[in-house]
Structure 1
Amino acid sequence: MSARQLTVRFHGALNDFVAPERRGQAFTHVLQGSPSVKDLIESLGPPHPEVDVVLVDGEPVGFGQRAEADTRVDVYPALEPSTPAVAPEARVGPPRPEMPRFILDVGLGRLSGFLRMLGFDTLWSNDAADDQLARVSHDEARVLLTRDLGVLKRSEVVHGYFPRSSEPADQLVEVVRRYGLTSRMRPFSRCLACNGPLSTATPEEVQGRVPEGVAQRHRNFQQCPSCKRVFWPGTHHERMQNLVDTLRKLETANP
């Protein structure tokens, strides 16, 4: 009996997850059983949250479609010029959230701090289990950011992204670009430690909670009602402001 085969091609950024010899070109794959299109795609590398359009012999299909022999499957990512324009209901990828909220895995602590610094609701803890990350992402409609493909491929995850870089500052640029965050940034409005919204505070309100020299040099403070931490525009604030300014330039560089 001859092998049951089909042809597959991944497009754009999805090639980051594909074996080097298969990147940017169509290749033959031998079918095992009768997998869904979603299972076929993930068995070859890319996680489903990064897929936006799937074409079988040129026609859009859903993730539940069964893969069949002697067909061609083209898989496209979101937000790339190469991705075909199809009706919204024909896309397998969800619409980009209007105001994204995030949940990050344990390895992305510094990225979580950057996102909070920009004002985005970002959950992170250093002991969150994989099933908890996936469940909260689904139940609270949060974007799951992780460099663990196993977590991203969990079926309950709808919105998710795998940062390509291992450097937190570069990861931040990736996320800002992917989710169009530049115009939505509200810098220094969230607590870097606990994610709570900050409120303004007078020097009198923070008396005894900041170093004496800081109290003498500064008049503008913010405090977190949840964890009681106090923030002021010091040297660290200046470095973060420079990062914010750099990110704002992305809006004009990438309209």
Structure 2
Amino acid sequence: MNTAEIHVEVAPELALFVPQERRRGATRLATDGVSTLGHVVESLGVPLTEVGELVVDGRPVPTGHVPRDGERVGVRAVTRPQRVPGAPLRFLLDVHLGTLARRLRLLGVDTAYESTDIGDPALAARSAAEQRVMLSRDRGLLRRRELWAGAFVYSTRPDEQLQDVLDRFRPELRPWTRCTACNGLLKEATKEEVADRLEAGTQRTYDVFAQCGECGRAYWKGAHHEQLEAIVERALAEFPQRG
């Protein structure tokens, strides 16, 4: 087996994925001489979903490139905003990102979410079947080859998670058009149409309602409306919509 020693420099944005000693400039790395550069980068801890470009001796190369002795490799982060070709932009979130899922739905972004742990193979299969971008903090899940597309969620704070996803993908925002519980589309509803889903106090206090076309859940401007409106206004201010 012909081994090779290369020099690898990881972009600062990706530093959290690699050991401390590889976070400052180019460092030496011994390879087996047969593994692809994509495999080598993943072995360092960097999910390929986070790699925008691989550069060898100043020229871009595909993930299938087999590094040769003495090559200098640059691992660059995804360029933002990231364009996802193919299907309309939509997401799939794993069990740990429930708050982020509800906030994306509040903004009208097509967001599927698994509230139970169905396992990485099933999540990856759903991402592929429905052509959804898998959002997760699980690096192992993001390394699965079945994924249609994926992205690492960098923060554990919902506000920062939402800002990061909106900044990275710039999805079209259509607030108040999706059910935060099931992702179904909302439609205007009369008080009579949703009366069986309302408490007496709600029926007396509110007159404007919406209802999910999928699960039937009723919506109105209740006690938490100001908090939700603040999330919407902040998102629209930071990421204004075209037209």
- When normalised by structure 1's length, the TM-score is 0.87
**What displacement does 1:194 show?**
1.1
Instruction: Find the residue that maps to 2:196 and give its secondary structure.
Output: coil
Instruction: Find the residue that maps to 1:226 and give its secondary structure.
Output: coil
Superposed, 1:10-49 pairs within 5 Å as 10-49=10-49
Does the CA contact (< 8 Å) of 2:36 and 2:63 recur in 1? Answer: yes
Superposed, 1:215-226 pairs within 5 Å as 215-226=203-214
* 2:135 is equivalent to residue 151 of structure 1: no
* 2:104 is equivalent to residue 115 of structure 1: yes
**What displacement does 1:70 show?**
1.1
Q: Which amino acid aligns with 1:108?
A: L
Output the aligned Cα RMSD. Answer: 2.1
| Comparing 20-29 and 40-49, the one that deviates more | 20-29
Whole-Å separation in 1 of the counterparts to 2:80 and 2:126: 28
**What displacement does 1:16 show?**
2.2
Q: Deviations over 1:142-185 (max 9, x none)?
A: 1111111000011222421111111122211111111113xx11
Whole-Å separation in 2 of the counterparts to 1:45 and 1:199: 45
**What displacement does 1:2 show?**
10
Does the CA contact (< 8 Å) of 2:33 and 2:66 recur in 1? Answer: no
Structure 1 partner of 2:187 = 199
Superposed, 1:1-255 pairs within 5 Å as 4-79=4-79, 95-96=83-84, 99-125=88-114, 126-181=116-171, 184-251=172-239
Q: Which amino acid aligns with 1:240?
A: L
Whole-Å separation in 2 of the counterparts to 1:251 and 1:111: 17
Higher strand share: 2
Does the CA contact (< 8 Å) of 1:112 and 1:123 recur in 2? Answer: yes
Percent identity, please: 39
**What displacement does 1:249 show?**
2.5
Does the CA contact (< 8 Å) of 2:189 and 2:210 recur in 1? Answer: yes
**What displacement does 1:20 show?**
1.8
**What displacement does 1:130 show?**
0.5
- When normalised by structure 2's length, the TM-score is 0.91
Q: How many residues align?
A: 238
Does the CA contact (< 8 Å) of 2:3 and 2:32 recur in 1? Answer: no
Instruction: Find the residue that maps to 1:203 and give its secondary structure.
Output: coil
Does the CA contact (< 8 Å) of 2:179 and 2:185 recur in 1? Answer: yes
Q: Which amino acid aligns with 1:194?
A: C
Q: Deviations over 1:187-238 (max 9, x none)?
A: 1111111111111101111123211111112111111122111010112122
| Comparing 235-244 and 15-24, the one that deviates more | 15-24
**What displacement does 1:139 show?**
2.6
